[in-house]
Amino acid sequence: MKDNCIVAQSGGPTVAINASLAGVIDGVKKSNKFTRVYGAIHGIQGVLDNNFIDLSLMALSKFPLVNTLELSPAMYLGSCRYKLPDFEVDSKPYEIIFDRFEEYQVAAFFYIGGNDSMDTVDKLSKYAKKIGSDVKIVGIPKTIDNDLCHTDHTPGFGSAAKYVASTMLEIAHDTYIYQIPSVVIVEIMGRDAGWLTAASCLARNDYSPAPHLIYLPEVDFDEDQFIEDIKNVLKTSRCVIVAVSEGIHDKDGNYISATSAVADKFGHAQLSGTGKALESLVKDRMDIKVRSIELNVLQRCAAHISSRTDINESFALGQAAVKYAAEGMTAVMSTIKRVSNDPYQWIIEPENVSLIANQAKTIPLEWITPEKNDVTPEMEAYLRPLIIGEVSLQYKDGLPMYLPVNHLL
Amino acid sequence: MKDNCIVAQSGGPTVAINASLAGVIDGVKKSNKFTRVYGAIHGIQGVLDNNFIDLSLMALSKFPLVNTLELSPAMYLGSCRYKLPDFEVDSKPYEIIFDRFEEYQVAAFFYIGGNDSMDTVDKLSKYAKKIGSDVKIVGIPKTIDNDLCHTDHTPGFGSAAKYVASTMLEIAHDTYIYQIPSVVIVEIMGRDAGWLTAASCLARNDYSPAPHLIYLPEVDFDEDQFIEDIKNVLKTSRCVIVAVSEGIHDKDGNYISATSAVADKFGHAQLSGTGKALESLVKDRMDIKVRSIELNVLQRCAAHISSRTDINESFALGQAAVKYAAEGMTAVMSTIKRVSNDPYQWIIEPENVSLIANQAKTIPLEWITPEKNDVTPEMEAYLRPLIIGEVSLQYKDGLPMYLPVNHLL
């Protein structure tokens, strides 16, 4: 009897993706449809390589001495960047994968990831249909970029947004102490979508206006206007704190950080140094102290300051995926629908994954100010609920106790 | 009757320097020698400019709605980088300062800062002696660099070390997820002393060996040996995580990041890009994925993950300074003396500030391994107690509520 399932994780890490994994394990435990749940190590690659761990026991264990799976950063099962070929061109990997499903008596496959991972879900479910397999293929969203379509927001984004906003506030305190004028440029992840950079607006409060300027990849960036914007802020403020997306580009589409723009195997440009490029620009054009800060991977791995809301939602999205498969659904992704903002209420609904795969959701232009250097109050209202609530971690010897990942080393 | 005092902060910020300020305020409140305590805004510059706020009321307030002064990052009173001239050459600023002391009926001046600030304490106390002033001049240590002499360690260092170690652990989790070999280089502050970089060793645990390599400015850095070290680690590990001080240099004393080495007014070279320089080096010499991460100011401003031990000690050092002044001491700095490591016990003692001013304490060479790419267990034993204990912050709207600093804006 086919009553087992496989779960895997793919793409870049977040601090909430393990909460979705925990949700899947919990869902299986509570399900009367599934018996064992296997974790494929390194995403779909683990299925191809026959590299699994049995997570069924974990469903029963509480790991009382360490922070639970849901509060541990990065990906307990490891990741991959493997892109399935079109099965009309090369069906070999599909044959291996579905043979493996047979071998492990698998009734459902859960894939937690972003829009590239949803491409895998889409292709596997289409192949299943073609060969008449009844294995249910269900996606669970994940990305700090918040760029998946047909979901109000994505797991991992709220925690990254909380990190960005709290770090921006701490950088502001650090900057305000000096008497001499200064410019601080904070580079935030987000290649094509500026959601995470926009979240820096949440740092503002009664006494601290930082960031004074926000630049997003949804609109063209103009170097001359940028210098003008800084000069304008300096008329009323001793310092200018700028939030900038790594993916900003000029009106011709050239990245501001063009020096290291090489493409990865998905065709995404790999960027770095946008902050450094702007730092150099300010140094060239103005006589003022300037510093750039790249938040780098810290914004996606700082589990010690996760958003409780984000963790709870991520868990629920994993649980729901199991429920959908148990009910016979396939080719769907669990999504979050916001029911109301005040009080913040949400529900989870399934959505056709082929509408989500390879698509990206950028910021609505009406949420960006006409000056292209800030976001609107509507944006802040959308973002605020996602960072609410703190996680409570266990510490030992001064450090958070995350779930060991020996099996990845 | 001269029974007031002035306190000021100077140098770079830490997350513990406000705890020392809180300790001074508390000390004054409990003292029967002092009445009012004025905070000079922007260090000694605030005394010169007659820019004060009265902190006496703060001593009575608990700020129940926000995190208290001791848990707020950066410097509540602002900072300066003003260096007093030799008074034999130019006594003008000294005359202004001591006139101000008269004007405000000041019996004691407390200066919280690093070795440059202790130079100010030293010079002011020598000038006081010369003119026969009985104003007590007392220093309180502060620096994330941990490079002050005659104190076991410095306030701010423990919290920065906790940030570095926990971030290193989170970066390790983030790195372990990938199947392809990689090198990650984490650049940590510390121009001449590698204490903070060494603290990355605290991230190691039963499952995670990161950082695999640690490079410190106390020993010469050799590019060829660095590449050999990485290749050696790769024989048994898929990834290599490297902690490197911003101040590493070759055998001729040239900084590895020489491109942006310009001197500040104290004659310190301003460095950036050591991590980027090593990233380029690895890219040039090896065919492997490589990333560099600069912890930047985050390591000195991330108050949300402060060390409770550090905050407590910083507070106590501020309190003690008031006690020393009340007892008639001058030209001293409060210092921490470690009495035992297990259990960790410490006392506070005064020390002659002229032994501390302008001096720097580097890591004993016997705490660095012969291979010059790691630290010894003695180093870890020294560091561990300093990061123990967590702070409990108040949050509002998803963010820590730090003490407002409107007066600095």
**Are residue B149 and residue B258 in the same domain, yes or no?**
no
Separation of alpha carbons A164 and A199, rounded Å: 7
Answer yes or no: are the C-beta atoms of A31 and A70 closer than 8 Å: no
Answer yes or no: are the C-beta atoms of B168 and B186 closer than 8 Å: yes
Instruction: With a cut of 50, list the residues of chain A below it in pLDDT.
Output: 260-271
Question: What's the CATH number where A217 sits?
Answer: 3.40.50.460
Residue of A nearest to B293 (CA): A296
Q: Is residue A184 part of a domain?
A: yes
Q: Is B304 on the interface with A (CB under 8 A)?
A: yes
Which among A44, A179, A290 is the top mutation candidate for probing chain B, defined by the most B β-carbons within 10 Å of its own β-carbon? Answer: A179
Mean pLDDT of B347-375: 95
Residues of B with Cβ-Cβ distance to A173 under 8 angstroms = 13, 72-74, 301, 303, 402, 405
Q: Is residue B318 part of a domain?
A: yes
Q: Is residue B332 part of a domain?
A: yes
**A13/B302 Cβ within 8 A:** no
**Are residue A217 and residue A279 in the same domain, yes or no?**
yes
Q: Percent of chain B, pLDDT > 90?
A: 85
Q: Which long-range contacts (CB under 8 A, 24 or more apart) does A90-94 make?
A: A91/A127, A93/A48, A94/A123, A94/A124, A94/A127
The residues of A annotated as belonging to the active site are 145
- The range of the structural domain enclosing residue A101 comes to 4-155+303-359+390-408
**Are residue A229 and residue A244 in the same domain, yes or no?**
yes
pLDDT attached to residue A237: 96
**Which B residues 174-193 touch A at CB under 8 Å?**
174, 176-179
**Are residue A107 and residue A141 in the same domain, yes or no?**
yes
**Which A residues 201-230 touch B at CB under 8 Å?**
202-203, 205-208
**Are residue B259 and residue B348 in the same domain, yes or no?**
no
Catalytic residue, chosen from B116, B119, B122, B145, is: B145
Residues of A with Cβ-Cβ distance to B47 under 8 angstroms = none
Q: Is residue A212 part of a domain?
A: yes
Name the residue among A179, A304, A384 with its Cβ closest to that of B78. Answer: A179
Q: Which tokens sit at B205?
A: 């645990």
Residue B133 has pLDDT above 50, yes or no: yes
Mean pLDDT of B91-119: 96
pLDDT attached to residue A329: 98
pLDDT tens, residue by residue, B325-357: 999 999 999 999 999 999 999 999 999 999 998
DSSP at B212: S
Separation of alpha carbons A350 and A321, rounded Å: 8
**Are residue A194 and residue A217 in the same domain, yes or no?**
yes
Cα A251–chain centre separation: 27
Instruction: Examine the fold and report which residue of A300, A317, A341 is the final residue of a domain before the chain moves on.
Output: A300
Instruction: Examine the fold and report which residue of A254, A275, A300 is the final residue of a domain before the chain moves on.
Output: A300
pLDDT attached to residue A63: 54
Q: Is residue A275 part of a domain?
A: yes
Tallying the residues shown for chain A, one arrives at 409
Q: Is residue A381 part of a domain?
A: no
Q: Is residue A336 part of a domain?
A: yes
**Are residue A315 and residue A204 in the same domain, yes or no?**
no
**A42/B398 Cβ within 8 A:** no
Residue of A nearest to B296 (CA): A293
Residues of B with Cβ-Cβ distance to A174 under 8 angstroms = 13, 73-74, 297, 300-301
Answer yes or no: are the C-beta atoms of B107 and B5 closer than 8 Å: yes
Q: Is B74 on the interface with A (CB under 8 A)?
A: yes
Answer yes or no: are the C-beta atoms of A333 and A350 closer than 8 Å: yes
Residues of B with Cβ-Cβ distance to A42 under 8 angstroms = 177, 179
DSSP A80-120: ----PPPTTT--HHHHHHHHHHHHTTEEEEEEEESHHHHHH
Q: Which tokens sit at B356?
A: 């501390």
Name the residue among B174, B298, B409 with its Cβ closest to that of A13. Answer: B174
**Which B residues 34-53 touch A at CB under 8 Å?**
42, 45
**Are residue B17 and residue B62 in the same domain, yes or no?**
yes
Answer yes or no: are the C-beta atoms of B385 and B401 closer than 8 Å: no
**A296/B294 Cβ within 8 A:** yes
Answer yes or no: are the C-beta atoms of A266 and A192 closer than 8 Å: no
**Are residue B127 and residue B98 in the same domain, yes or no?**
yes
Instruction: Examine the fold and report which residue of B300, B316, B335 is the final residue of a domain before the chain moves on.
Output: B300
**Are residue A12 and residue A86 in the same domain, yes or no?**
yes
How many other C-beta atoms lie within 10 A of the C-beta of residue A338? 15
Please count the structural domains in chain B: 2
- Asked if this assembly's ipTM is beyond 0.90, the reply is yes
Q: Is residue B248 part of a domain?
A: yes
**A397/B178 Cβ within 8 A:** no
Q: How many helices (H) and strands (E) does chain A have?
A: 11, 15
C-alpha distance from B331 to closest chain A C-alpha (Å)? 26
**Are residue B141 and residue B175 in the same domain, yes or no?**
no
pLDDT tens, residue by residue, A122-179: 999 999 999 999 999 999 999 999 999 999 999 999 999 999 999 999 999 999 999 9
**A206/B404 Cβ within 8 A:** yes
pLDDT attached to residue A67: 67
Is A143 annotated as belonging to a binding site? yes
- pLDDT-derived band at B291 (thresholds 50, 70, 90) equals very high
Mean pLDDT of B248-273: 65
Which residues are B187's β-sheet partners? B244, B294
Catalytic residue list contains B145: yes
pLDDT tens, residue by residue, A39-79: 999 999 999 999 999 998 776 555 555 568 889 999 999 99
**B205/A399 Cβ within 8 A:** yes
Question: What's the CATH number where A396 sits?
Answer: 3.40.50.450
Answer yes or no: are the C-beta atoms of A326 and A29 closer than 8 Å: no
**Which B residues 124-183 touch A at CB under 8 Å?**
162, 165-167, 169-171, 173-174, 176-179
**Are residue A241 and residue A281 in the same domain, yes or no?**
yes
Summary mean pLDDT of chain B: 93
Residue B300 has pLDDT above 80, yes or no: yes
pLDDT attached to residue B257: 78
pLDDT attached to residue A272: 53
Answer yes or no: are the C-beta atoms of A224 and A384 closer than 8 Å: no
